[in-house]
């Protein structure tokens, strides 16, 4: 006897699964298109111009960061679309320096975005990566004394010790047949070794080796590149670096990374011998002192995170600024000659010590103008710094922005504003600092950020550059090997530059 099977109709869920299986190639693009259109048109930001791709997805900014030229992309965007450009469904880039001051001003409620949370270490954020404003304020308060100019001046001799080593290296190159010097690389090694001395009382050894030891600098650049890209889509970090499986891929493990290894060794040493037994002060010992004063508010983990983070935040940035300075000055003979003249005159009249001192260099107006102009035209941070509009929304320059909107600021864009910096903002011209309203221009310089997130390493970076650059230009003659070529660079978070190669020779003491 035949068994009759009752026909049970498929449920709606089964229908859906079958449809997905059979028509996924149509359904997925259609869903993505709908999502794109929803983001494009449902947002109150739909009235702002910008790249088409950016209006409905974050793909445009991921692509721009991946390509390594966020800064030039944004300059072009603003030239094309004006002062407010939509660069993602919920994100606007602003080109007005006045607006930037408002956004960065302390106490206005614009918090850092999730972009920063991607930068390591997630388990114990440092001052740069901490996005909880209240927690950030506490950490910064305890770390500010170790970074103060007074503390930095006490450590100036370690900078001089590293200067001596750099000069020894350059002296050898001057004696070589072709006088070849990769000035860009050596400034990079120098900036790292200075930070090693300042943070841990030890050079990392880049200068001595004369190459990128254990590819540590390259690794940092690659890591920052990852942070920059994934920072645009922060939730994706959970699929990659925050994925628990990540640590089982040996090639991706950073625990044996040169900089981290040294930081851990120094940390252990200090814990064993105690801070008071140490022969000299450094950033780590000063941060330990802050921890001892307030062990609950500034924990041991914070000491490590802040000292370790300093290397990441402070080396590429300072190196990049010194490279921009050298390249900009050396490619213009008139500027180069004028700068040497000022330095030589100060030297001849005994106003510049063997290792130039901060106060002496403040009295070199042309040098100061050259440095400011380098930081204006090629600020070391190439990606946008981003802030969230407070929940209640805000009004800036007469424009209302809804709460939760991400506002993006890029130093390369802001520093090309003609109303502040004059009609030729794309030209490297130190003279502008004597012609225009220099005080006003300074108010609108963002190379160190601003407000409550102003760069904590600004004093160290300025001290280092003010001591080192005049020394180099006093004692050595540099000739660019390819003066007609632009310096190659790409932005990870910082602007990583390549190709600053020169012929070097020793200058006579009389100039
Ligand atoms: C010429 C060199 C430098 C430049 C151009 C520079 C630039 C900047 C900028 C633009 C910011 C703000 C980022 C933002 O708001 O998103 C920043 C923050 C920071 N920088 Fe620097 N920096 C330099 C050197 C240093 C050094 C030497 C250190 C440490 C030794 C350092 C440590 C930091 C830290 C910890 C922050 C986070 C501050 C906060 O959020 O409160 N930087 N820097």
ipTM of predicted complex: 0.99
Q: How high does pLDDT run on average in the chain?
A: 92
Give the pLDDT confidence score for residue 225 in this predicted structure.
93
Give the pLDDT confidence score for residue 366 in this predicted structure.
98
The residue whose CA is least distant from atom 39 of ligand 1 is 453
Beta carbon of 128 within 6 Å of any ligand 1 atom: yes
The SS3 call for residue 353 is coil
Beta carbon of 92 within 6 Å of any ligand 1 atom: no
Q: What is the separation of C-alpha 222 from the centre of its chain, rounded to a whole number of angstroms?
A: 13
Q: What is the share, in percent, of the chain residues with pLDDT greater than 90?
A: 76
- Phi/psi of residue 13, each to 5°? -65, -45
Beta carbon of 453 within 6 Å of any ligand 1 atom: yes
H-type alpha helices, 299-406: 300-330, 333-348, 358-362, 365-377
Beta carbon of 308 within 6 Å of any ligand 1 atom: no
The SS3 call for residue 232 is coil
- Phi/psi of residue 92, each to 5°? -120, 140
Nearest to 112 by CA among 388, 384, 382: 388
Kindly report the pTM of this predicted structure. Answer: 0.93
Query: What ranges make up the beta strands (E) of 35-89?
Result: 84-88
Higher pLDDT, 180 or 155: 180
Beta carbon of 463 within 6 Å of any ligand 1 atom: no
- Annotate 376-398 with DSSP letters as a single string: HHS-SB-SPEEEEPPTT-EEETT
Tell me which residue has tokens 């007074």.
Answer: 150
Residue 451 Cα, ligand 1 centroid: separation in angstroms?
12
Q: For residues 478 and 280, what is the distance between their CA atoms, to the nearest angstrom?
A: 36
Angle at 391 between CA 385 and CA 396, to 5 degrees: 60
Higher pLDDT, 447 or 24: 447
For the CA of 380, the closest atom of ligand 1 is 5
Give the pLDDT confidence score for residue 158 in this predicted structure.
92
Q: For residues 321 and 497, what is the distance between their CA atoms, to the nearest angstrom?
A: 10
Give the pLDDT confidence score for residue 266 in this predicted structure.
83
Q: For residues 207 and 362, what is the distance between their CA atoms, to the nearest angstrom?
A: 28
Residue 411 Cα, ligand 1 centroid: separation in angstroms?
13
Q: Which two tokens stand for residue 458?
A: 């600004």
Counting ligand 1 atoms within 8 A of each CB, the residue from 129, 152, 190, 317 with the most, and so the one to mutate, is 317
CB–CB of 448/469 below 8 Å? Answer: no
Give residue 509's pLDDT band: very low, low, confident or very high (50, 70, 90): low
- Is 4's pLDDT higher than 60? no
The residue whose CA is least distant from atom 13 of ligand 1 is 449
For the CA of 315, the closest atom of ligand 1 is 27
Residue 46 Cα, ligand 1 centroid: separation in angstroms?
33
The residue whose CA is least distant from atom 20 of ligand 1 is 455
- Is 396's pLDDT higher than 80? yes
Task: For 424-437, write each residue's pLDDT tens digit.
Answer: 999 999 999 999 89
Give the pLDDT confidence score for residue 3 in this predicted structure.
56
Task: For 214-245, write each residue's pLDDT tens digit.
Answer: 898 998 899 899 999 999 999 999 888 888 88
Beta carbon of 191 within 6 Å of any ligand 1 atom: no
CB–CB of 53/59 below 8 Å? Answer: yes
Task: For 280-304, write each residue's pLDDT tens digit.
Answer: 888 998 998 899 999 999 998 999 8
Binding residues for heme, as ranges, are 455
Give residue 253's pLDDT band: very low, low, confident or very high (50, 70, 90): low
Give residue 312's pLDDT band: very low, low, confident or very high (50, 70, 90): confident
Which residues on neighbouring strands pair with residue 400, listed in sequence order?
395
- Phi/psi of residue 23, each to 5°? -120, 25
Class of the CATH-defined domain 84-506? mainly alpha
Question: Angle, nearest 10°, between helix axes 458-475 and 156-175?
Answer: 30
The residue whose CA is least distant from atom 12 of ligand 1 is 449
Beta carbon of 448 within 6 Å of any ligand 1 atom: yes
- Is 249's pLDDT higher than 80? no
Burial class (CB in 10 A: 0-12, 13-18, 19+), 418: exposed
Beta carbon of 233 within 6 Å of any ligand 1 atom: no
Q: Provide the residue ranges of all domains of the chain, joining segments of one domain with +.
A: 84-506
């Amino acid at each position: 006897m035949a068994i009759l099977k009752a026909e049970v109709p498929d449920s709606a869920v089964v229908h859906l699964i079958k449809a997905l299986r059979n028509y996924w190639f149509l359904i997925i693009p259609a869903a993505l298109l709908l999502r794109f259109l929803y983001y494009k048109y449902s947002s109150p930001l739909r009235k702002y111009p910008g790249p088409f791709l950016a209006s409905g997805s974050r793909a445009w900014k991921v692509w721009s960061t991946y390509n390594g030229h966020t800064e030039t992309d944004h300059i072009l965007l603003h030239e094309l679309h004006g002062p407010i450009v939509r660069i993602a469904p919920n994100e606007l880039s602003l080109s007005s320096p006045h607006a930037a001051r408002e956004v960065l001003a302390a106490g206005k409620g614009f918090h850092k975005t999730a972009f920063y949370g991607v930068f390591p270490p997630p388990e114990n954020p440092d001052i740069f990566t901490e996005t909880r404003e209240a927690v950030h304020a506490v950490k910064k308060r305890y770390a500010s004394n170790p970074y103060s100019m007074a503390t930095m001046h006490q450590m100036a001799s370690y900078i001089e010790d590293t200067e001596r080593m750099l000069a020894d290296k350059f002296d050898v190159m001057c004696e070589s047949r072709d006088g070849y010097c990769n000035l860009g690389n050596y400034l990079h090694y120098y900036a790292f070794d200075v930070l090693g001395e300042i943070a841990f009382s030890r050079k990392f050894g880049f200068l001595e080796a004369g190459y990128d030891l254990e590819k540590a600098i390259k690794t940092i650049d690659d890591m920052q590149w990852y942070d920059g890209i994934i920072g645009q889509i922060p939730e994706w970090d959970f699929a990659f670096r925050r994925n628990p499986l990540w640590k089982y891929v040996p090639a991706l493990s950073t625990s044996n990374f040169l900089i981290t290894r040294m930081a851990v060794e120094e940390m252990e040493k200090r814990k064993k011998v105690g801070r008071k037994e140490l022969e000299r002060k450094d950033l780590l010992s000063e941060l330990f002192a802050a921890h001892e004063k307030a062990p609950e508010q500034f924990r041991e983990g914070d000491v490590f995170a802040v000292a370790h983070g300093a290397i990441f935040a402070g080396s590429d940035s300072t190196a990049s600024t010194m490279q921009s300075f050298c390249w900009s000055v050396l490619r213009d003979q008139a500027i180069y000659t004028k700068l040497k003249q000022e330095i030589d005159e100060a030297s001849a009249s005994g106003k510049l010590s063997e290792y130039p001192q901060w106060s002496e260099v403040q009295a070199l107006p042309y040098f100061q103008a050259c440095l400011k102009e380098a930081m204006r035209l090629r600020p070391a941070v190439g990606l946008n710094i981003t802030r969230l509009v407070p929940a209640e929304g805000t009004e800036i320059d007469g424009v209302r922005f809804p709460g939760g909107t991400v506002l993006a600021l890029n130093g390369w864009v802001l520093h090309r504003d003609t109303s502040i910096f004059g009609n030729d903002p794309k030209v490297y011209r130190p003279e502008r600092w004597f012609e225009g309203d220099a005080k006003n221009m300074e108010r609108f310089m963002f190379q160190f950020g601003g407000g409550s997130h102003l760069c904590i390493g600004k004093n160290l970076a300025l001290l280092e550059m003010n001591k080192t650059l005049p020394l180099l230009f006093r004692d050595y003659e540099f000739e660019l090997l390819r003066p007609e070529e632009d310096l190659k660079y790409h932005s990870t978070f910082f602007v990583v530059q390549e190709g600053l190669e020169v012929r070097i020779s020793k200058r006579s003491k009389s100039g």
